[in-house]
Every structure is written in C-alpha cells, then in structure tokens.
Amino acid sequence: MLLKLHPQNPEPRYLNIIKECLLDGGVIIYPTDTIYGLGCDIFQHKAIERIARLKHIDTQKAQLSFVCYDLSDLSKYTKSIDTPLYRILKKYLPGPYTFILPASKQVPKILQSKKNTIGLRIPNNTIALSIVQQLGHPLLSASLPGEKVEEYTDPEIIYANFEKLVDIVIDGGIGGITPSTIIDCTHDGYEVVRMGAGEWEE
C-alpha cells in the first residue's frame, strides 16, 4: 500500500491505518529528516526479524536505532542522562542525529547488542513524529537495503521496489540522500562515528 501523507498535517485516518499495521506486526517505509527508512514496532519480534531478513543482518549485531517522540520518550530507553549529555541532546534534537547511548532494560532483548548500546533519534520530521506519537512508543528504524541511495529519494520508486516486501510505503515527499550524523556517547568525550546531514560541534 502506498499512502500519501501531508508533510505538515498528516491525515489522522492514515496515521491510524499505519498504527494498526505496526501493532499488527507490519513493516513500513517512512520519511525522516534525512533519508527514507524501514520501520516497525520495537515490541513486535516478527516484524524485527522481517527487517533483519530484508537487510541480511543479525538483529543483535545490526546498527538499528529507535525513533523517539521527544526527550522524555528517549530517556526511557537509555540509562540515566547526566546534565552535560542532556544539554547536548536538547541542543541537537529534534534533528538529523543518531546518538549511541547505553541501553536501558526497556530495550527489548531481541535488540540488545553485545555492547548493550542503542541508537536513539528524534528526527525533525512531522510524519515520523506523528507515527511515533500515535503508536505510543518508539519505532525501530533501519536504512533501506542496498546501495542505491539515489533511488531512495522518490517514494513512488521506493514503492515499485519494495511493495512486495513491506506493508506500507509512506509518501511524505522527496527524501534526502544523506543519512544522520552518528555520535557515540558511551564513553568520555563524544565520538563522531559517521558524519552525515547534521553539523557537529561540542
């Protein structure tokens, strides 16, 4: 199914269809403030396994992240956030950043990596945030499989490529080609793991 949503005022009835699909173990492709991503409910094991198969990855070794609604939502999935880290998160989020943080016990076991860390995002994208708000907890987020980033900007081309592999492709307009900037906050000093769409200065 291809669903075209208004980028600033996503239609409530479409958001409800997406929520029901996710709660039922569905997999979606949705827009963010960077590139289009694969998403599912973090508590739906079968959906997580479907994404892992699509990407040919092991869920515990993969770089999967959570898309959260706001900082209070994000804080449930990491261990305590000290004041300096809170200031950094508040400065850069919502925005095109993924912060790698120590995972809390709220992170489902299937997604707990050996390092016990999790990537957390709050994208500056109304559709993505509206989906998470409707769902009531984060979306699992992964990049689309393959290297053809240029093909992953146009939702209609994405739909043609993935219509048999996912349940819903959400058309939120043309997407970007640069992924998020990844910052590792699990040790002293913050390390830029990948320089992406977000500028970074501590």
170 close to 26: Cβ distance less than 8 angstroms: no
| pLDDT (average), residues 167-182 | 94
Q: What is the pLDDT of residue 159?
A: 95
Q: Which helix (H) or strand (E) holds 27?
A: none
The CB density around residue 90, as the number of other CB atoms within 10 Å, is 10
Q: Residue 115 corresponds to which amino acid?
A: K
Structure-token pair, residue 145: 């499989």
pLDDT in tens, 35-54: 999 999 999 999 999 999 99
Which strands make up the sheet holding 168-171, listed edge to edge? 2-4, 168-171, 28-30, 37-41, 139-143, 65-67, 117-121, 97-102, 181-184, 191-194
Q: What angle do CA 53, 70, 27 make, to 5 degrees?
A: 20
Q: Residue 70 corresponds to which amino acid?
A: D
Q: What is the pLDDT of residue 110?
A: 81
| pLDDT (average), residues 50-70 | 85
pLDDT classification of 86: cutoffs 50, 70, 90: very high
Extents of the domains making up the chain: 2-194
User: Can you tell me which residue has the tokens 């146009």?
Assistant: 154
Cis before 94 (ω within 30) = yes
pTM, two decimals, is 0.93
How far apart (Å, rounded) are the C-alpha atoms in residues 120 and 124?
13
Q: What architecture does CATH give domain 2-194?
A: Alpha-Beta Complex (3.90)
Is the pLDDT at 32 greater than 90, yes or no?
yes
Is the pLDDT at 194 greater than 70, yes or no?
yes
pLDDT in tens, 134-173: 999 999 999 998 777 777 899 999 999 999 999 999 999 9
pLDDT in tens, 121-136: 999 999 999 999 999 9
How far apart (Å, rounded) are the C-alpha atoms in residues 79 and 178?
29
